[in-house]
Structure formats: C-alpha cells, structure tokens
Amino acid sequence: MKKLMLIVLGVFLSASVFGQSCLDDVWQCLRNGQPPKAKKFLEECMKSNPESAQVWLMKGNVYYRLWESDNKKKTADPNYTPRYPNAAIEANEAFLKALTLDSKVEPKSGMMGAKLGQQALAIPIYDMGVAAMKAQKYDKAIEYFKLAANNFELGKESANASLSYYQAAICYLYNKDPQNEKVMLEKAISNGLNSPDAYTELYYLYNADNDTVNCKATLEKALANLQPEQKINMADARMNYYAMIGDNDQLIAVTDEVMADINSRETKTEVDKNMISICANYLSNCKAFDKAENILTAALATDPDNFNYLSQMGYRYYEEMHAYMERVKELQNKKQWNDANAINLSPEFKQTKVNAHEWCEKAYNVDSDNLDNNKRLRELKVLLQKEIPQELNDKINAHITNE
C-alpha cells in the first residue's frame, strides 16, 4: 500500500512540476513579446493540465496578447487581416474558466488576473458586437454585447454596461424577440441609461403584455430621470397610457404640452407634423372633437394637402358620427324611441356624416391607397346613399386579399 501511495504521489508531483515548468516557458515568451510562441507552449500545458486554474489563467493572458498584437497591426494597417480573430472571446472564456476552477487564482508576475482580464476585454468584445451588428449577424452581436456588458459591470462601468445592454436590445428587436428585448432594456435602464427612446420602447413592450403596472412605473421612472427637454419625447407613451386607463383630463393635458412645444418653433419638422396627427387622433378617440378640429384646422392652414391632417379631420367627424350612433342605440335600448328618432333625424347628425365624408374624400384624393381611410369613406358613402366608385372597392378588396 505504501508503495502504491508513493507511486501516486510521484505521478502527482511530476505533473505539477511539469505544469509549472511549462507555464514558465509560456510566461517567459509573453515577457519577451512572443505571444504566438507562447501559444504553442500553452497547447502542451493544456494537454497535461486541463483542470488547472493557473493554466487557464495563463491561456487568458496569451490570447489577450494575441488580440492585442492583431489590434496594433490592424490600427497601423487597416487592410491587415487578423490572424486570431476570435482571440478576445477565447481569452474571456479562459479567464472565466480559471475563476470557475479557483476563484482565488493569482497570476504570475506581470500577467493579468482573471477579473482584470475580463474588464480589459470589455471594449474589444463590444467592438466585435458592433461589427456583427453592422453585418446583420444579430445572434452573434447579442452574444458579444452581453459578454461586454458583464465585463463592464465587473469594472463598475455602468454607463458602458448600459450601452451594451441597449445594443443587445436593438438586436433582439431586429430578431423579433420582444421578451429578451425587454430584459435587455430593463438591464440598460437599471445601469443608468436615460434615453427617451429606451423608455418608450420598454413602455410599449409592457403595453403589448397588458402590463399596466409596469407601464406606469416605466413612465414615472422616465419622467423622474430625464432632462426637462427630453420629457416631451415621452409624450406619445404618456398619451397612450392615459388613453388606456381612461384618464381623459390627463390625456388632454399632454396634448396641450405637445402642441405648445410644437407651436414654439417657427418651422415644423416631419416629426412635429406626425405628432400633430397623433394628438388629433387621441383627442378624437376621447371625444374631445373641438380640440382635435382646432389643432387640425391650424395645421391645414399652412399644409392643406397633408394626407394625415385630412384623414384625421375625416376621422374626427367619423368618431363624432359614431358617438351619435352610440347615443341612439343607448336610447333605443331604454325604449326612448322619440329621443332616439330625434337624434337620428337631427340636422347636426346629418351634417356630421356629410363632414366626415367630405374630409375622407379629400384625403382619398391625396392618397387613395390608405386602407383605413378607404374603409371609412366607403362606409360613409353607404350611410349617405352615395355611389361607391369601383376603384374604391377594388383598392379595399386588394388590401384585404393581400393581408
């Protein structure tokens, strides 16, 4: 038994001594600025000591130096093709493996520790993510951005971590993966990202899940953290939230904020014009018909052929028409026939239908391919007993066939 124990101990010591000797060769090559040569020695070390934290830590250092060497050559010559394009990832994996095997593993003199190595690799891995994203390789880009974010967090670089998570969220958006996009946006914001676009996107992801609690929380956090001039960019999400919970007073207050901001500028951008249409739409939906009309009338005075304005004006009267219809139905259900007939035959109700038709037709003459406006126009022609052009029917049917 003693002899067997001595043999086992001898084998263990032999492997340990060989490992240290092997690592010394790798270490010396790195000190001499010879990472490719160090890589060759390292391969022998890996064969003999596959579960050694020291060997994995040294591998991280070797591959970091290989990346560093390639990067210097690429900086000096943009046409240079890196010899070790995956070196940063392999280095990162090696540092992680070293910590898994021994969380207290210490580097040789002049070498990087595992956590410091990961921190040093954060930027190169982030850059790999950007390159993969540009090449539309979104799965790879996500992998790199998440690694970079983790490494930035190790160094308590919250701003860079938040940017990495945000980039990963964009890639998930391209991949049509809303649940993972949501997770990445949450991480980006928790790391301090204060972007109206990020808050708005996260809001609408919660909205798609009918998660009103987190919708509210996201808006509150955005308004608490954004700069005053940035808050106007949350207007769309705020209007959506107030419409969703039926708070018309707050909804109208936000549209007033938006219009005051737009009217403070002498020239309206395309974004401004789109927001005018959005505000009018929300106002029509909450039956603030006069406010919607006032906004659109002022906008049409300087841009009379704007399809969105014309279509929204048609929608304003179309919604008011349906409000009349709802009231008539309500009275009929209560068997208040005279009151119901009075509304049905009132000149105001008839004029509302006429106005809706007039504006929808104006919009149709500007853009005859908009399905929503076309459907409204056909419905109005039926109600007013007007002839329906074959072209209008054809365009609606063509849309429905292609859906």
Q: Answer whether 300's CB lies under 8 Å from 316's CB.
A: no
The four Cα atoms 360, 361, 366, 369 give a dihedral, to 10 degrees, of 80
Q: According to the model, what pLDDT value does residue 399 have? A: 79
Q: What is the rounded distance in angstroms from the CA atom of residue 208 to the CA atom of residue 177?
A: 13
pLDDT of residue 19: 46
- Tell me the CB-side half-sphere exposure of residue 83, using CA atoms within 13 A: 11
pLDDT at 26: 93
Q: How many other C-beta atoms can be found within 10 angstroms of the C-beta atom of residue 175? A: 14
Please, are residues 286 and 243 in contact by the beta-carbon 8 Å criterion?
yes
Check whether 75 has a pLDDT greater than 90.
yes
| CA 287 – CA 296 distance, rounded (Å) | 15
Provide the pLDDT for residue 335: 94
pLDDT of residue 67: 96
Count CB neighbours of 148 within 10 A: 31
Q: How confident is the model at residue 6 (pLDDT cuts 50, 70, 90)?
A: very low
What phi and psi, each to the nearest 5 degrees, are found at residue 156?
Answer: 55, 35
Highest mean pLDDT among 30-34, 153-157, 288-292: 288-292
Identify the residue whose tokens are 């860079």.
160
The per-residue pLDDT for 191 is 95
pLDDT of 30 above 80: yes
Distance in angstroms (rounded) separating the CA atoms of residues 234 and 242: 12
| Residue whose C-alpha is closest to residue 95's, from 83, 110, 111 | 111
Residue 107: CA atoms inside 13 Å, Cβ hemisphere, count?
A: 20
The secondary structure of the chain in percent helix, strand, coil, rounded to multiples of 5, reads 80, 0, 20
**What are the Cα distances from residue 329, in Å, to 51, 67, 338, 350, 376?**
79, 74, 12, 16, 20
DSSP letter, residue 232: G
* Separation CA 3–CA 14 (nearest Å): 16
**Average of pLDDT values for 166-192?**
97
Distance, CA of 99 to CA of 105 (rounded, Å) = 7
Contact between residue 122 and residue 155 where contact means Cβ atoms under 8 Å apart: yes
Q: What is the DSSP string of 161-192?
A: HHHHHHHHHHHHHHTT-HHHHHHHHHHHHHTT
Residue 243 neighbours by CB under 8 Å, 6+ apart: 251, 282, 285, 286
* Upper half-sphere CA count for residue 159 (Cβ side, 13 Å): 0
Confidence of residue 159 (pLDDT cuts 50, 70, 90): very high
What is the pLDDT, as a whole number, of residue 20? 60
Mean per-residue pLDDT, 26-42: 93
Task: Using the predicted structure, report yes or no on whether residue 13 has a pLDDT greater than 50.
Answer: no
Residue with tokens 């394009």: 85
Q: Which of 193, 68, 61, 62 is nearest to 124 (CA)?
A: 68
pLDDT at residue number 103: 94
Q: Which helix (H) or strand (E) is 222 found in, with range?
A: helix 212-225
pLDDT of 90 above 50: yes
Evaluate the CA torsion angle 116, 122, 123, 127 in order and state its sign.
Answer: positive
User: pLDDT confidence of 8, banded at 50, 70, 90?
Assistant: very low
For residue range 221-250, what is the model confidence (pLDDT) as tens digits? Answer: 999 999 988 999 999 999 999 999 999 999
pLDDT grade, residue 402 (50/70/90)? low
Q: Which of residues 4 and 316 earns the better pLDDT score? A: 316
Query: How confident is the prediction for the chain on average, in pLDDT?
Result: 92
Helix (H, G, I), strand (E, B) or coil at 209: coil
In this predicted structure, what is the pLDDT of residue 403?
Answer: 60
Q: Is 90 exceeded by the pLDDT of residue 14?
A: no
